[in-house]
Amino acid sequence: MIIQDLKCNRIENPLGYALSKPRLSWIVEPGAEGATLQQACRVEVALDEAFLNILHDSGKREDIDSISYVPELGLAPRTRYYWRVHVWTDRGEAASPVAWFETAKLDEPWTGRWITPDWEEQSVHPLLRRGFSIHKDIARARLYICGLGLYEAELNGQRVGDEYFTPYCNSYNNWIQYQTFDVTGHIRQGENVIGAMLGNGWYKGRFGLSGITHGYYGKHFALLCELVITYTDGSEDTICSDKGWRCAPSHILDSSIYDGEVQDARKYTEEWSSPSFHDAGWDGVRCLDIDFNLLEARRSLPVRIKEELQPVKVIHTPKGETVLDLGQNMVGWVRFKNKAPKGSIIQLQYGEEMQEGCFYRDNLRSAKAEFTYISNGQPDEVQPLFTFYGFRYVKVEGWPGEVRAEDFTGCVVYSDLEATGTLETSNPMVNRLILNALWGQKGNFLDVPTDCPQRDERMGWTGDAQMFSGTACFNMDCDAFFHKYLYDLAQEQATLGGIVPLTVPSFGLNEQDSHTGSSAWSEAATVIPWNLYLHYGDKAILEQQLSSMKDYVDWIRQQDDGSRLWNTGVHYGDWLALDGDGEFNPLGGTPTDLIATAYYAYSSELVAKAAKALGKDSMAADYFKLSAEVKAAFCQEFVTPSGRLAADTQTSYILALFMDLVPESFRPRIIEDLRRNLEKNKFYLQTGFVGTPYFCRVLSENGHNDLAYRLLLNEEYPSWLYEVKMGATTIWERWNSLLPDGKFGELGMNSLNHYTYGSIVEWMYRNMCGIQPLEEAPGFRKIRLAPQPNPLLKHVKASLKTASGLYESAWSYEEDGLHYRFRIPFHAEAELVLPDADIKDITVNGISLEAGSLSYKEEDRTVNMVLKTGQYEIIHSVKQ
């Protein structure tokens, strides 16, 4: 038995994060002993790794839950806390390895100043440096640092850490994150130098859709840091950003998230951050007045190069272009080995798709997405520092000699999220679809959940994030990632009187259009916290977000004239659905007030459930009542007395069923009308962003599992597999982003990496493989395990590393019947629901169900049983 995956705030050994209440979690792997139940547990927190100086000892307790334990601690700034766990089980006991978390500055005031180059011109990218000497033995050193727009720090000629895009992206007018780095190994006796390079990034560069597209959050480069060196004698020195720093232009001539980067290596200053370099000719800096109250310890996860891809081929196009094909639509950049003579200009342009055999990128709109490099004649590994691209193809110009694939590497860059889910089926096209959704997440989870990563947008659109969040939480441990996004959302909302901005951060979009948010988009405020709670089982997210959730619903309530309908404001409707009037009508055919009212009811209910989970019963009662009133109003407005929906669109039926908007007695008719609508459309979907995420779930959960499989497996337009057939390696924004002849459809808004329709993957985990989190036991401590097989697939399997441990669910059609395989983790259980089964035909691990020890029930050919920790092979044999 081992205890593993020790996390604090669902991050392994977090250094310098916002940690007011550290939430500790771990997983027990039962091992050969076959432990199934926790009997007791003890958590200790100490100031030292040997646990001599213990600050918290829970004692042996029965009520500690490995999903989240918050030790009572008064936290001190800049302090590392070590923790460990001891678990007693039904089959012995085990001790965990030691893990730690370390606080940032907490409330400590800053001694460093914000500094900026003392230049008029704020477009020149600076290098900043300062020397210092050390004469005592060093015990440890930490760098507390922030740079605007973006920074990369160096110490004695070495890059600090392996993160990109620090200090990350959020609504900088509400809060600014600083990072903490352990730099003990960088500092040496004698002379040292600390330095930083700055780029424009989101803060200061061209970004966003509001009228102010340059430097919305700030116009100046700025750096703030404190390097705290602790000596072995216990004394400390702090090297700060101050007027003693020097600066000079860097070799980066320009940088922009949308447009790319220009580097002139001839201007590269060799060894600029080394003590041997003399900065006599460098300029001075001045102090800037940026409010210190904005500074907060980081919440963003690190963004790293997570994978590397080699180009699969070099294409020579009919137009004479040379283009690298990475074989995968990805996000990041290509790194190359420079061998070009001094003064040569190498230019890379990034695009998503070739057209008629040639390089193409009109769908990036105004984003230049380029990289220009002027060689200094020195061999070097070259990559941009302050930009990223969404691409599969790279056009190479100015390359000396033959362009060879091996001189380039695709660096895949995204937030450091742990992969948690795997899915595989017997159908290779479905497997590619699963991968496409995963690549959509990789490409669009670069600090902010974005709509797309390539064109002049790349923003944290709330709707897209909300719709994909369920899938995202199956694919990866998204807890910390979304905690930061939702924290930012709540900050924005607080300045907008409860309105949830269209994008988070907003980049002024709401102010610009005095836009009040759109139903289904603003629901990021309610849906994402609820998904996190279901997946990670931790009430902390509800505590953090409850007032944001409530403020949002209260804001809708202010729009409602008492009718309990939401029929005001501007909404995006069932965005990009195919049933709207006119050829390019993006709003779809479902009335926007129907969608808005549906979400009004749904969000009110989520607020009520969140309040209930937090023990706020009277608040819960208020919002349950509100939700019931909205549902009644929905029926009065949109459903006839005999149960017919006013709008005959797939999305209307889906919402009515999924959000439980109609009385039970109306459901059969609505289900039948949805089926009829599908039939009318030759069993093809017509839905957009709102209906699609729930479509297959509604079918499987309402007696039409076969139609869910049919929808999944359709191969003509519009369908998921049409995209796969057309060679997609990510999820498209539109069902017909590429037309059957391979040409781009609409160009004004057409990305090939937009994850919303990837939300089908949630159905695969929940219904196809049947792994369903339960509201009453969140964090997968207990699940409903209800696989819904269909012979259109021969076999499927899913594994899911949850907050409670690893689940597996698989089924396959074999000659003797349907075989299921399940794995239930330690101290967890599953309520298994087998459809269309007869107890007489079932064996569990080789023993007939009736003869075995499992208790079971059968009703209407559905067999229920409870599976405890362990592995199971269940065969439902078919009579020959």
Binding positions for ligand BGC, rule: CB under 6 A: 451-452, 457, 461, 463-464, 572, 575, 749, 754
| Beta carbon of residue 342, minimum distance to ligand BGC (angstroms, whole number) | 42
User: What count of other Cβ atoms lies within 10 Å of the Cβ of residue 851?
Assistant: 8
- The C-alpha atoms of residue 247 and residue 225 are separated, in whole angstroms, by 15
* 528 in Cβ contact with 485 (< 8 Å): yes
- The C-alpha atoms of residue 641 and residue 289 are separated, in whole angstroms, by 64
Give the residue numbers annotated as catalytic, written as ranges. Answer: 457, 733
E strand or H helix that includes residue 654: helix 650-658
Nearer to ligand BGC, 461 or 658 (CB): 461
| Beta carbon of residue 633, minimum distance to ligand BGC (angstroms, whole number) | 26
* 850 in Cβ contact with 814 (< 8 Å): no
| Beta carbon of residue 552, minimum distance to ligand BGC (angstroms, whole number) | 17
| Beta carbon of residue 667, minimum distance to ligand BGC (angstroms, whole number) | 30
- The C-alpha atoms of residue 427 and residue 810 are separated, in whole angstroms, by 14
Nearer to ligand BGC, 416 or 574 (CB): 574
Residue 225's SS3 state is: strand
621 backbone φψ class: left, alpha, beta (φ>0; ψ -120 to 50): alpha
Nearer to ligand BGC, 117 or 688 (CB): 688
Residue 55 token pair: 């600050």
- The C-alpha atoms of residue 18 and residue 731 are separated, in whole angstroms, by 34
Nearest CA-CA partner of 101 in 174, 25, 165: 25
* Position with the least CB separation from ligand BGC: 451
Q: Which residues contact residue 239 at a Cβ distance below 8 angstroms, ignoring those fewer than 6 apart?
A: 130, 132, 194, 226, 227, 229
**What's the maximum distance between 2 C-alpha atoms anywhere in the chain?**
90
Q: Kindly state the DSSP code that residue 601 receives in the 8-state scheme.
A: H
CA 170 to chain centre: 14
Alpha helices in 495-644 (DSSP H): 509-513, 524-536, 540-559, 592-613, 617-638
- The C-alpha atoms of residue 452 and residue 627 are separated, in whole angstroms, by 33
- The C-alpha atoms of residue 24 and residue 27 are separated, in whole angstroms, by 11
Nearest CA-CA partner of 302 in 446, 139, 191: 446
Nearer to ligand BGC, 46 or 452 (CB): 452
Nearest CA-CA partner of 143 in 6, 265, 7, 298: 298
DSSP 423-473: EEES-HHHHHHHHHHHHHHHHHEESEE-S-SSSS----BHHHHHHHHHHHH
